[in-house]
Amino acid sequence: MLNLDEYVDVLKGCTRGTGKTTNILSRTIVNIRQCKHIPEADVAELCSKVIEILIEEPNIQHVDTPVTICGDIHGQLHDLLTLLATGNECPETQYLFLGDFVDRGFYSLECFLLLIALKVRYPDRITLIRGNHELRQITTVYGFYDECVRKYGSVNVWRFCSEVFDYLSLGALVGGKGGVFCIHGGLSPDIDTIDQIRILDRKQEVPHEGGMCDLLWSDPDDVPGWAVLPRGAGFLFGENEVNQFLHTNDVSLIARAHQLVMEGYKEIFGEKLVTVWSAPNYCYRCGNVASVLTIDDNLQRNYKVFEAANQDITELPTKRSTNDYFV
């Protein structure tokens, strides 16, 4: 069982040590990757330790290059493992995940535990930001809550993970001035500058409206100004809004996730905004490929496209059907 004292060295920045702490955490990561049951007490400890790290991180994380940016994962563990093999394992590669780790897929818990375990093990080599599915209300409808109850027989593990959601950063800035602004969803009519995001109180369940909500829910579209978003939260925003945001904040690209892209990624608005999607064959039926985006030291982009892991669909666990909201 993982305990507080055995994590101390890791929290002090031990990322490649060979001591007892590192060995225990490494074994836990191996067990998660193999879908082995992690004791509830260990999940509680892991969530507590990652919160201690996340609470010190700002709303907008500053991320150095090179970095590999990843879109939605949605509980598809075997495809997450393929992603890590495609982009090279952490810590050799620095990763930035744009949220939506849970729901839809059958291994949301393992996906989330693996990512936060990597965060504890290599805190400076992986950045996690919040998606619109890292919300209590959403996870009670689209799978994660039911999965936790099915696997542990109570809501405790879901509660532990939901508390972690509240401490995830809202976005990231890659490469500093002239770099890449990274967010899960998109822009907000209430937010003109990145500095405005920095002062938001993120340590809460996401409100149903306002700037914090919009960052997680909004979508780009060919619209003038701002428009109502059919999702029921956030806004549609057009090229003019993207150009204004880039100019005001001295960044060259917006990288976001949040929308299924059949080709794995899609650049729009004169290549000033890109959607990165990292869940291949989404929901085990969409037939799409996935991608990750690497930003190098010169802020050049390199996309790596990958397909779904070979997996017998008949061996997947069953779960109750969910509502019609799809992406």
Counting DSSP H helices and E strands in the chain, the numbers are 11, 14
pLDDT-derived band of residue 20, with 50, 70 and 90 as boundaries?
A: low
Cα distances (angstroms) measured from residue 256 to each of 13, 41, 72, 130, 171: 29, 34, 10, 12, 10
Q: Which of 74, 78, 133, 258 is catalytic?
A: 133
Q: Which residues contact 238 (CB under 8 A, 6 or more apart)?
A: 220, 221, 222, 223, 224, 225
Q: How far is CA 202 from the centre of its chain?
A: 15
The reported pTM is 0.90
pLDDT tens across 182-197, in order? 999 999 999 999 999 9
**∠ CA 188-194-200, rounded to 5°:** 75
Q: What pLDDT does 3 receive?
A: 42
CA distance 79 to 311: 10
Q: What pLDDT does 125 receive?
A: 98
E strand or H helix at 195: helix 194-198
pLDDT-derived band of residue 12, with 50, 70 and 90 as boundaries?
A: very low
pLDDT tens across 21-62, in order? 678 899 999 999 999 999 999 999 999 999 999 999 999 999
Q: Among 64-68, 300-304, 308-312, which stretch is predicted with the lowest mean pLDDT?
A: 308-312
pLDDT-derived band of residue 101, with 50, 70 and 90 as boundaries?
A: very high
Tokens 């920045």 locate to: 13
Q: What pLDDT does 133 receive?
A: 98
Measured from the Cβ of residue 247, the count of other Cβ atoms closer than 10 Å reads: 9
Q: What pLDDT does 5 receive?
A: 42
Burial category of 67 from C-beta neighbours within 10 Å (exposed 0-12, middle 13-18, buried 19 and up): buried
* Residue 39 DSSP code: P
Q: Which two tokens stand for residue 307?
A: 């397909």
pLDDT tens across 141-169, in order? 999 999 999 999 999 999 999 999 999 99
Percent of the chain with pLDDT over 70: 88
pLDDT tens across 235-272, in order? 999 999 999 999 999 999 999 999 999 999 999 999 99
Average pLDDT, the chain: 91
Quick one: average pLDDT of 92-103?
A: 98
Sign of CA dihedral 311, 133, 72, 13: negative
pLDDT-derived band of residue 171, with 50, 70 and 90 as boundaries?
A: very high
Query: Active site includes 247?
Result: no
The answer on pLDDT for 319 being more than 70 is no
The answer on pLDDT for 15 being more than 50 is no
